[in-house]
Amino acid sequence: MDQGRGSWHIHINYCRERMTTIRNTNSLLHNFEVYFGEFERSLNGESQTGWHKIRKKAFQKLVETGFPDRKHEEYRYTPMTQRIEKAFQVFPDFDLQKSGDKQPDISACLPQGMKANILVFVNGNYQAHLSKCIPEDNLHIAELADAIGDQEVEKYLGESVSHTDSFALLNTAFSSNGIVLKVLRNQIIQNPVYMIHITDGSLNNRVNQPRILILFDKNSQATIAEFFFSKGDKTIFTNAFTEIRVGENATVRYIRAGLENNQALRVSNISVYQEESSTFTSVNVDLEGKLIRNNLNIIQNGRGCETHLYGFYLLTDNMHVDNHTVVDHKYPDSQSNEIYKGIMANKSTGVFNGKIYVRQDAQRTNAYQQNSNILLSNDATINTKPQLEIWADDVKCSHGCTTGQIDQEQIFYMRSRGLDEVQAKTILLHAFALDILNHINIEELRSMLDLKVIEKLNNV
Amino acid sequence: MLKIKNLRASIGDKEILTGINLDVNAGEVHAIMGPNGSGKSTLASVLAGREEYKVTSGSITFLGDDLLDLSPEERAWKGLFLAFQYPVEIPGVSTTNFLKTAVNNVREHRGLEKLDAVSFLRLMREQMKLMEIDQSLVNRSLNEGFSGGEKKRNEIFQMALLDPKLAILDETDSGLDIDALKIVANGVNHLKSSDNAIIIVTHYQRLLEYIVPDFVHVLYNGQIVKSGTKELAFELEEKGYEWIREEVAGISI
Ligand SMILES: Nc1ncnc2c1ncn2[C@@H]1O[C@H](COP(=O)(O)OP(=O)(O)O)[C@@H](O)[C@H]1O
Ligand SMILES: [Mg+2]
């Protein structure tokens, strides 16, 4: 890959972090205040429960911090607040959130012959009647409302009020029809758990706030996938929050992909807490949507943790995808390995911000981070910023980012053997993508994404 | 088959080829020799259609067409093949898939039926035997991590698969030990026929012991300054290029 040749828009190492607390009185917040009132009324007698106290606390904190505006350091390249405001000048009626298509056709989201535990969410709400689990896998799923008496669940929900991201707070404030998935001690779930999020964007603009809590007990193992789809072409706003607690010596693989319509706005907060000797691997793929922001936060809460983060984004038209990742090494003898790769065409914009913290006690940490980008047009932009902060002294850390165009030497080689320019370009870009897609261990989902990638590459 | 007339080419503002004339007919083997930097690879690149090189004057006809009008892939479809001096590594691209696409593209443009997976693999296996290419090599990404010798053999293997009309081998002999050299030479000799032609670019005479040229040309400072038969190669081997330098200097005085 050429290193930043020509007049491409490359911004590496943008400004240093600043603490910003912005009292924001924008109309979006006002809209949500009205909306929250309606939501409370719809809860009837439930509004005095412990859960609702958590929601109120989260909402209160959101009112204090406001939504991030352009001056907010963490959102300076991603005008999420402004876009939501623009798209939802008239907020959808709250009741409509529960109506709409309750029996959407999920066949397009479900690869044929795929053997998996299927959990379906429609417009952010879990649909038990559409979900289907494999009995031998003995999955323990509870709807949030039923799990709330569980001390562990209530504790984690309560802790999420301290999240600093406004959208995470918003999700907690409106949390309702989410689920809790528990993987028991020593339990190994053989088949993947495939969560399908489908949003009906055919009638009115949608706001969806799926909430998922996954608790892995000691020595447990599973592969979880969360895929986001939509039907219809109206603007949808998805504000997802998934929390994963990875117990001691547990092994978790987590695949996440966005395939919504080209008007979709989405914020994903994924918070992962790893205990001693656990392994967490994630693959995040974004191929569709209009404005996407992923906050993937990993906290290593014990020694000997292993974290692998892979990401791929293929952006066309005016798409904008922003990946913010944090790996917080707090204990000794851990490692993290992060590779994010992106292809940007047309007027699309990519943002990558990868924070790695190595705390004072985290001796012998081994951390690696790489962000590689290919820009296919003069109007495409990537803002990339690796950010390593190291307090321990005995560590191995490296990071790098490359931004370039397609390698013309490689193109010429292939053309001289009879491949046309488009074939040669597609093969190279596809290889670039496969480097990440090959980490998806569910073959049907990998090939579903792969086909989509090929289809898109044939049109860039 | 190939007619190069008074070809001048440059890169940036630097003129590298300063008037090349060369005729190659079907059934012939030509060797182009010359010291480093004389323009041999540049000539090969211009023939293959590398866009960085600007042709400033002259003409090239290949099988009746103006070669300079064709894109690199059109040249390949018409039967031109360049074995690169430094084949580029292409990580992540499967050698087998790449070759299948290449072979089928070329076949399609020659009016032949495309090969299905089974017949392609059969063809590939035949040619692998000829070039003594191991299965593990084609299972890897294209040229990635190949040794120098493996890269060169892989080039000739591709030549065998694509069955070109005109093959240009740019320093295919350099970096090969004697056994690999013999394999390459055997392969090339096997492919040689009365309706194709080969241009061997080299600055050693070594390969020419195995692939006997009909003509030997000396390229110096972007021009063919001397042409002869295979004896010229022996003379160069014996006397070195100093002799040519002196001769050229003598002419210009
Ligand atoms: N891309 C390039 N940019 C600048 N100069 C080049 C480039 N390629 C070749 N040259 C120059 O052109 C001359 C001929 O090079 P080349 O054709 O590679 O010679 P040969 O193959 O005979 O050794 C050399 O002086 C070389 O430095
Ligand atoms: Mg050369």
Instruction: List the beta strands (DSSP E) in A217-359.
Output: 221-231, 236-246, 251-259, 265-274, 279-286, 291-300, 306-315, 320-329, 335-344, 349-358
The alpha carbon of B10 and the centre of ligand 1 are apart by a number of angstroms equal to 10
Measured by CA distance, the residue closest to atom 9 of ligand 1 is B42
Residue B164 CB less than 6 A away from ligand 1: no
Cα gap A338→A225, rounded to integer Å: 19
Q: Counting Cβ atoms within 10 Å, is residue A107 exposed (0-12), middle (13-18) or buried (19+)?
A: exposed
Mean pLDDT score, A253-281: 97
The reply to whether residue A412 touches residue B50, judged by beta carbons under 8 angstroms, is: yes
Tokens of A157: 């929900």
- Nearest ligand to residue B42 Cα: 1
Residue that is written with structure tokens 């991590």 in the block = B145
Nearest C-alpha in A relative to B106: A418
- Per the CB < 8 A criterion, the answer to whether B211 and B198 are in contact is yes
- Per the CB < 8 A criterion, the answer to whether A244 and A184 are in contact is no
Which chain B residues are within 8 Å of A417, Cβ to Cβ?
76, 81, 98, 102, 158, 162
C-alpha distances in angstroms, A361 versus A366, A395, A414, B164?
13, 11, 51, 64
- Per the CB < 8 A criterion, the answer to whether A263 and A270 are in contact is no
Cα dihedral sign, B236-B239-B244-B245: positive
* Torsions phi, psi for A234 (to 5 deg): -80, 160
Q: What is the pLDDT of residues A43-84, one digit of tens each?
A: 876 667 889 999 999 999 999 999 999 899 999 999 999 999
Cβ contacts of B12 within 8 Å, gap of 6 or more: none
How many CA atoms does the CB half-sphere of A280 hold within 13 Å?
32
- Per the CB < 8 A criterion, the answer to whether B57 and B105 are in contact is no
The reply to whether residue B105 touches residue A418, judged by beta carbons under 8 angstroms, is: yes
Whether the pLDDT of residue A294 is over 60: the answer is yes
Question: Which of A417, A420, A425, A436 to substitute to test the interface with B, most B CBs within 10 Å?
Answer: A417
**Which class is domain B2-252?**
alpha beta
Residue B36 CB less than 6 A away from ligand 1: yes
Q: What is the pLDDT of residues A414-435, one digit of tens each?
A: 999 999 999 999 999 999 999 9
Output the pLDDT for position A95: 55
> DSSP assignment of B34-64, as one string?
--TTSSHHHHHHHHHT-TTSEEEEEEEEETT
Cα gap A190→A344, rounded to integer Å: 36
Output the pLDDT for position A47: 67
Q: What is the pLDDT of residues A366-388, one digit of tens each?
A: 999 999 999 999 999 999 999 99
Determine the distance from the C-alpha atom of residue A288 to the mean position of all C-alpha atoms in its chain, rounded to a whole number.
13
Tokens of A453: 């990638």
Output the pLDDT for position A20: 36
Which ligand 1 atom is at minimum distance from the Cα of B170? 21
C-alpha distances in angstroms, A332 versus A37, A291, A300, A397, B42?
47, 37, 10, 14, 56
Output the pLDDT for position A94: 55
- Nearest ligand to residue B85 Cα: 2
Which chain A residues are within 8 Å of B87, Cβ to Cβ?
413
- Per the CB < 8 A criterion, the answer to whether B205 and B236 are in contact is yes
Least confident of A13-27, A84-98, A286-300, B114-128: A13-27
Residue among A304, A313, A300 at smallest CA distance from A453: A313
Measured by CA distance, the residue closest to atom 4 of ligand 1 is B11
- Nearest ligand to residue B53 Cα: 1
Q: What is the pLDDT of residues A102-139, one digit of tens each?
A: 677 888 899 998 999 999 999 999 999 999 999 999 99
Percentage of residues in chain A having pLDDT higher than 70: 90
Output the pLDDT for position A16: 33
Kindly give the confidence (pLDDT) of every residue in chain B, 253 residues in length, as a single tens digit, with 9 standing for 90 and above. Answer: 999 999 999 999 999 999 999 999 999 999 999 988 999 999 999 999 999 999 999 999 999 999 999 999 999 999 999 999 999 999 999 999 999 999 999 999 999 999 999 999 999 999 998 888 999 999 999 999 998 889 999 999 999 999 999 999 999 988 888 888 999 999 899 999 999 999 999 878 888 989 999 999 999 999 999 999 988 888 888 888 888 777 777 665 4
The DSSP bridge pattern shows strands A117-122 and A193-200 to be parallel
Output the pLDDT for position A26: 59
Q: What is the pLDDT of residues A388-415, one digit of tens each?
A: 999 999 999 999 999 988 999 999 999 9
- Per the CB < 8 A criterion, the answer to whether A22 and A72 are in contact is yes
Q: What is the pLDDT of residues A350-370, one digit of tens each?
A: 999 999 999 999 999 999 999
Cα gap B229→B215, rounded to integer Å: 5
Residue A97 pLDDT grade (very low, low, confident, very high; cuts 50, 70, 90): low
The reply to whether residue A418 touches residue B102, judged by beta carbons under 8 angstroms, is: yes
Within B58-134, where are the H helices? 72-78, 95-109, 117-130
The alpha carbon of B50 and the centre of ligand 2 are apart by a number of angstroms equal to 14
Residue among A264, A204, A269 at smallest CA distance from A236: A264
Residue B136 CB less than 6 A away from ligand 1: no
Q: Does B245 touch chain A (CB under 8 A)?
A: no
CA angle A135, A139, A140 (to 5 degrees): 135
Cα gap A195→A201, rounded to integer Å: 19
- Nearest ligand to residue B13 Cα: 1
Nearest to B105 among A409, A419, A428 (CB): A419
Cβ contacts of A20 within 8 Å, gap of 6 or more: A71, A72, A73
Shortest CA gap B194–chain A (Å): 23
SS3 B224: strand
Whether the pLDDT of residue A157 is over 60: the answer is yes
Q: Does B105 touch chain A (CB under 8 A)?
A: yes
Residue B37 CB less than 6 A away from ligand 1: yes
The reply to whether residue B49 touches residue A417, judged by beta carbons under 8 angstroms, is: no
Tokens of A422: 């488009």
SS3 B8: strand
Cα gap B149→B169, rounded to integer Å: 14
Output the pLDDT for position B252: 52
Whether the pLDDT of residue A327 is over 70: the answer is yes
Q: Does B96 touch chain A (CB under 8 A)?
A: no
Cβ contacts of A301 within 8 Å, gap of 6 or more: A273, A274, A275, A276, A330, A331
| Domain ranges within chain A, ordered by starting residue | 406-460
Residue A100 pLDDT grade (very low, low, confident, very high; cuts 50, 70, 90): low
The DSSP bridge pattern shows strands B54-62 and B223-228 to be unpaired
Instruction: List the beta strands (DSSP E) in A177-220.
Output: 179-183, 193-200, 206-208, 211-216
The alpha carbon of B54 and the centre of ligand 1 are apart by a number of angstroms equal to 13
- Per the CB < 8 A criterion, the answer to whether A173 and A73 are in contact is no
Output the pLDDT for position A92: 60
Residue A101 pLDDT grade (very low, low, confident, very high; cuts 50, 70, 90): low
Residue B41 CB less than 6 A away from ligand 1: yes
Output the pLDDT for position B132: 87
Question: Which of A5, A374, A402, A413 to substitute to test the interface with B, most B CBs within 10 Å?
Answer: A413
Neighbours of A319 (CB within 10 A): 25
Q: Does B140 touch chain A (CB under 8 A)?
A: no
* Torsions phi, psi for A286 (to 5 deg): -125, 120
Residue A291 pLDDT grade (very low, low, confident, very high; cuts 50, 70, 90): very high
> DSSP assignment of A335-402, as one string?
EEEEEEEEEE-TT-EEEEEEEEEE-TT-TT-EEEEEEEEEE-STT-EEEEEEEEEE--SS-EEEEEEE
Residue A91 pLDDT grade (very low, low, confident, very high; cuts 50, 70, 90): low
The reply to whether residue B73 touches residue A434, judged by beta carbons under 8 angstroms, is: no
Q: What is the pLDDT of residues A159-201, one digit of tens each?
A: 999 999 999 999 999 998 999 999 999 999 999 999 999 988 8
The reply to whether residue A417 touches residue B87, judged by beta carbons under 8 angstroms, is: no
Nearest to A409 among B77, B88, B98 (CB): B88
Least confident of A269-283, A289-303, B225-239: B225-239
Q: What is the mean pLDDT of chain A?
A: 90
Residue among A375, A297, A366 at smallest CA distance from A341: A375
**Which ipTM did the prediction report?**
0.95
Cα gap A106→B66, rounded to integer Å: 56
Output the pLDDT for position A13: 39
Q: Counting Cβ atoms within 10 Å, is residue A34 exposed (0-12), middle (13-18) or buried (19+)?
A: exposed
Residue among A424, A409, A410, A418 at smallest CA distance from B74: A418
Burial B6-41 (b: 16+ CB within 10 A, else e): ebbbbeeeeebbbebebebeeebbbbbbbbeebbbb
| Domain ranges within chain B, ordered by starting residue | 2-252
Whether the pLDDT of residue A1 is over 70: the answer is no
Nearest C-alpha in A relative to B82: A416
